Amino acid sequence: MSHGWPDAFLTAFDALPLGAFYGSAAGRRYAVTRQDLAGGKAQKLVAHERGGRDYISLNLYRLAIGAQLRPCEMPKEKVIRFVLTLQVTE
């Protein structure tokens, strides 16, 4: 994968269920929503910490030139770490 982010990210992202679910990462619990848009060529993930203030939001575009990760107003490293550590709990 290009742009220095790990191949493991796509594997972890694709393993997450579509729709709304609960999960945990880094000792925090989250309400998460994952959506496929444009026939799966664009994907969105939004997570709100349950009982806290943390927020994760990203768009992932599956283009002919490769996957393009676009975090929403946060560092790319934060969303990569979140997806790699997120465990579905409910």
Question: What pLDDT, in 10s, does the model give residues 30-86?
Answer: 999 999 999 889 999 999 999 999 999 999 999 888 899 999 999 999 999 999 999
Q: What DSSP character marks residue 40?
A: G
Calpha distance 2→18 (Å, rounded):
25
Calpha distance 79→90 (Å, rounded):
21
Determine which helix (DSSP H) or strand (DSSP E) holds 70, and give its type and residue range.
strand 66-71
Residue 22 confidence (pLDDT) above 60: yes
Q: What is the pTM of this model?
A: 0.91
Non-local (6+) Cβ contacts of 60 within 8 A are 13, 42, 43, 44, 45, 67, 68, 69, 70
